[in-house]
A and B are shown apart, each in its own frame.
Chain A
Amino acid sequence: MRLQLKAGLARVASLFAIGSLVLALGGVARAQPPPDEAPAEAPAEVASPATAAAGNESAPARRYVVRASSEVGGYADTDHVFVVTPTVAGSVADPVAGWSVDGRYLVDVVSAASVDIVSTASRRWEEVRHAGTLGGTYKPGSFGVSVNGAGSFEPDYTSLAGGVLLTQDLLDKQLTLLGGYDYGHDVAGRSGTPFSVFSRTIDRHGVKAGASLVMSRSTLATALVDAVFEAGDSSKPYRYISMFAPGTDVARGASIDTVNALRLAERPLEQLPLSRNRYALTLRLAHRFSASTLRLDERLYHDTWGIEATSTDARFLVDVSPRLQLGPHVRVHAQTPVDFWQRVYVVGPGYDFPALRTGDRELGPLVNLTAGGTLRVGIGSSAAPRSWLVGFDVNLTSTQYLDDLYVTHRLSVVSAIMLEAEL
């Protein structure tokens, strides 16, 4: 199954490469200015970051750009998981001096009665998560530095992270190189039990390096390599794994009743490896047409648990009018399972449980197909119609679990309503 999925991943990667090639060739062809085009006539094309961000190139540029946004996101799926996520964010930038600061705060309100919860005879589970980020960037010239910090707090899980990112423009800003480091420290516990009584720590070190290349006046290519080195036990202290006697056959998607009838009485907790190295290559191509933008992303992923994955993402953002922008979006994600994935974990001689075991179906083989889109409506003044934006995003995802108990398919929808203003 792993090889079959790998072939699918490779095929998607090849298709992306071909698509990128076509777009790159088109972009390069357009990069050459016509012989009669004089630079003196062109400055009208130049947009300062401030005016461009407001979507209105005729508005006067201000020294400080202050932006604020609010979003309410919602998630629901056919596995009875519901999440509501209100978010507020803001940023202040001085494009002339080259600095900016930004922050974001969100709350996740989760209510779940998924099959994993029901199968352990537990009640509906509800939880609130608070998360925030703070960041700052200083780039007075060709060299820039950004720092960021993030925190996430749940009753049974705390995550703190921080990082630094360096950028350097080269070749008259034709090429931008970037490199960064992140550190994260998580503490996982059990709800209702103090961290001092039970907790596990997970440390993450992340490094990334990349380059952004102006390929033509309307095409931008970005490549990013990132690696994350995790150490710690990220096994879920609530996740119990069904065990079976040797020779037991349990069909994919077997119901809770069937599994309960076939499994042994013992159900050990999940146990994952104590370290994990993740490696990813992201390629991004953005091309601006006269009134629309096509963005293609491909992310290839490999980790030491055995997952290999491809995520292909395409967005086409169309400026229907100065006040209206539409953006259809599709995404395909496919992944192989972790090495220790088994639909049916068998107890060995002497009642030995497999040393590594999981019931997290996001660690199994799966294919996600997402389709959706964005709508942005400018409600600002006629001089700067997009200085105030109302937005609506919706994405529908169909997930095929290829080798799981209980669930073979999940349909989920995530939507968000946002308001963004340049103050």
Chain B
Amino acid sequence: MRRVHKRVMVIVSPALARSVSRSARRAAFGLVALVLASCAPVSAYQRGALANPTMAPTDLAGPAEEHTRAVQEGAIGGAFGAGGGCGCN
């Protein structure tokens, strides 16, 4: 495991990290622009597929998965009511 970790550290240099970060920001801006520009009119009668429950705009994770995620990832935001009095994790 230590060998794998070392290899990851060697492969990615700080300069490359900055460069990739800039590219990611550009890609994100490009994506937003594309999304806004590609808004095609869809009539009400054409929205049957969009009404499928699997197309819900909200997260589909169930309560157990959601709670596990809130505990295992230090980057959850707005997860009110997560609790966590213990020091077990």
Q: What is the interface of chain A, defined by CB distance below 8 A to chain B? A: 1, 3-4, 6-11, 13-14, 17-18, 20-21, 24-25, 27-28, 31-33, 39, 42-49, 52-53, 55, 57, 71, 73-75, 79, 81, 85, 87, 89, 104, 106, 108, 110, 112, 114, 116-117, 125, 127, 129, 131, 133, 150-152, 154-157, 159-161, 163, 171-176, 182, 184, 188-189, 191, 204, 206, 208, 212-218, 220-223, 226-228, 236, 238-239, 252-253, 270, 278-280, 283-284, 286, 288, 293, 295, 297, 299, 301, 303, 307, 309, 311, 315, 317, 333, 335, 338, 359-364, 366, 368, 393, 395, 397, 399-400, 402, 408-409, 412, 414-416, 418
A236 → chain B closest CB, angstroms: 4
Q: In the bound complex, do residue B35 and residue A215 qualify as a contact, i.e. CB atoms below 8 Å apart?
A: yes
0 or 1 for each of B55-89: is its CB under 8 Å from A? (1 = yes): 11101101111011001111101101111111111
Q: In the bound complex, do residue A333 and residue B75 qualify as a contact, i.e. CB atoms below 8 Å apart?
A: yes
Q: Which of A13, A75, A286, A301 is within 8 Å of B27, CB to CB? A: A13
Q: In the bound complex, do residue A14 and residue B39 qualify as a contact, i.e. CB atoms below 8 Å apart?
A: no
Q: What is the interface of chain B, defined by CB distance below 8 A to chain A? A: 1-2, 5, 8-9, 12, 14, 16-18, 20-21, 23-24, 27-28, 30-32, 34-36, 38-57, 59-60, 62-65, 67-68, 71-75, 77-78, 80-89
Chain B residues, Cβ within 8 Å of A71: 62-64
A213 → chain B closest CB, angstroms: 6
Chain A residues, Cβ within 8 Å of B2: 252
Chain B residues, Cβ within 8 Å of A110: 86, 88
Chain B residues, Cβ within 8 Å of A125: 86, 88
Chain A: interface secondary structure? strand
> Given that A6-B17, A47-B48, A395-B65 are contacting pairs, would A150 and B43 also be in contact in the complex, using a CB cutoff of 8 Å?
no
Chain A residues, Cβ within 8 Å of B75: 278, 280, 299, 301, 303, 307, 309, 311, 333, 335
A289 → chain B closest CB, angstroms: 9
Q: In the bound complex, do residue A55 and residue B53 qualify as a contact, i.e. CB atoms below 8 Å apart?
A: yes
Q: In the bound complex, do residue B85 and residue A297 qualify as a contact, i.e. CB atoms below 8 Å apart?
A: no
Q: In the bound complex, do residue A17 and residue B83 qualify as a contact, i.e. CB atoms below 8 Å apart?
A: no
Bound Cα distance from A237 to B20, whole angstroms: 40
A238 → chain B closest CB, angstroms: 4
B8 → chain A closest CB, angstroms: 6
B13 → chain A closest CB, angstroms: 8
Q: In the bound complex, do residue A85 and residue B63 qualify as a contact, i.e. CB atoms below 8 Å apart?
A: yes
Q: In the bound complex, do residue A155 and residue B12 qualify as a contact, i.e. CB atoms below 8 Å apart?
A: no
Bound Cα distance from A44 to B17, whole angstroms: 51
Chain A residues, Cβ within 8 Å of B12: 3-4, 7-8
Q: Which of A24, A85, A252, A400 is within 8 Å of B67, CB to CB? A: A85
Q: Which of A1, A214, A227, A238 is within 8 Å of B86, CB to CB? A: A238
Chain A residues, Cβ within 8 Å of B5: 252, 402
14 A-B residue pairs with CB within 8 Å: A4-B9, A7-B16, A46-B48, A73-B62, A79-B89, A159-B82, A217-B48, A218-B49, A236-B85, A236-B86, A286-B55, A303-B75, A359-B87, A362-B74
Q: In the bound complex, do residue A10 and residue B21 qualify as a contact, i.e. CB atoms below 8 Å apart?
A: yes
Q: In the bound complex, do residue B81 and residue A214 qualify as a contact, i.e. CB atoms below 8 Å apart?
A: no
Q: In the bound complex, do residue B49 and residue A315 qualify as a contact, i.e. CB atoms below 8 Å apart?
A: no
Bound Cα distance from A391 to B57, whole angstroms: 21
Chain B residues, Cβ within 8 Å of A182: 78, 80
Chain B residues, Cβ within 8 Å of A43: 45
Q: In the bound complex, do residue A150 and residue B81 qualify as a contact, i.e. CB atoms below 8 Å apart?
A: yes
Q: Which of B63, B80, B82, B88 is within 8 Å of A104, CB to CB? A: B63
Name the residue in A42, A217, A228 with the highest tally of chain B Cβ atoms < 10 Å from its Cβ.
Answer: A217
Q: In the bound complex, do residue A75 and residue B64 qualify as a contact, i.e. CB atoms below 8 Å apart?
A: yes
Q: In the bound complex, do residue B84 and residue A157 qualify as a contact, i.e. CB atoms below 8 Å apart?
A: yes
Chain A residues, Cβ within 8 Å of B62: 71, 73, 393, 416, 418
Bound Cα distance from A261 to B28, whole angstroms: 49
Chain A residues, Cβ within 8 Å of B31: 17, 20-21, 24, 283
